[in-house]
Amino acid sequence: MTGAATPNLEPTVYLVDDDDAVRDALAFLLSTVGLTVRTFPDGLALERALDAEGPPDIGCLLLDIRMPHISGLHLQVRLQDRGVDLPVILLTGHADVDLCRRAFRQGAADFLSKPVDETELLEAVQRAVRQHLRGRARHAASQQARERLARLTAREHDVLRSLLDGQTSKQAARTLGISTRTVETHRASLFTKLEADSLAGVIRIALAGEEV
């Protein structure tokens, strides 16, 4: 029986630039700090790779704005529509306030002008990778919380909402029309099912699972 695939937590930078010299120079720079770099001459080549392999577990996209076939801004939107959640850093040799504004409206992590300052680029990429790690961690925590919340019965969800409203067992009993002892039994059960050892833990799980 084959087990689940182990996530690859080595960050990968997908670098898309139609200028061979720039692409090679940036790839070498990023490799000097231990990053895995995949290079592509245009957006279509990147999309073909993602179709074949899927996106990496952790990483970011480094996209030139002015490219043949698909601009970096257009590629950013197309990838978002495909569900690719990699943070995007856009590069341009023609600094433009309107382009920058559009990039950030579309959710870009950063926008850098060419020629790119090496330190600025490395810092931007490392920030983007950390952003992706945090996003994946939040997603995993949210998924785990939803799975635990799904274990609760309808009445336990009612009791959970009373907890979130700050009600005592007696107040919850009056609201729900059940005995205080029954409320306390449900509270004990939901603590067990949520695998929480404190009220703060229950609240954290409820909020992570958007059970409010």
CATH number, residue 99: 3.40.50.2300
Does any domain span residue 87? yes
Instruction: Spell out the per-residue pLDDT of the chain, length 212, in tens.
Output: 344 444 455 789 999 999 999 999 999 999 999 899 999 999 999 999 998 987 777 899 999 988 888 888 889 899 988 888 899 999 987 766 677 777 888 878 888 888 889 999 999 999 998 888 887 777 777 888 888 999 999 999 999 999 888 888 999 999 999 999 999 999 999 899 998 888 888 888 888 776 43
Based on its alpha-carbon atoms, the radius of gyration of the chain, rounded to whole angstroms, reads 24
Residues 116 and 26 in one domain: yes
What range defines the domain where residue 185 resides? 151-208
- What's the pLDDT score for residue 102? 79
Closest Cα to residue 184, out of 167, 207, 200, 196?
A: 167
Burial level of 103, CB count in 10 A (0-12/13-18/19+)? buried
Residues 52 and 137 in one domain: yes
CATH number, residue 196: 1.10.10.10
Biggest CA pair distance of the chain: 75
Number of domains in the chain: 2
Residues 135 and 170 in one domain: no
Asked whether the bond before 115 is cis by omega within 30 degrees of 0, the reply is yes
Does any domain span residue 7? no
- What's the pLDDT score for residue 9? 58
Residues 38 and 114 in one domain: yes
CA-CA distances (angstroms) from residue 70 to 61, 63, 105, 191, 193? 15, 11, 19, 52, 50
Residues 176 and 85 in one domain: no
Closest Cα to residue 151, out of 211, 193, 114?
A: 193
Angle, CA 110 vertex, CA 109 and CA 115 arms, to 5°: 155
Last residue of a domain, one of 88, 114, 141: 141
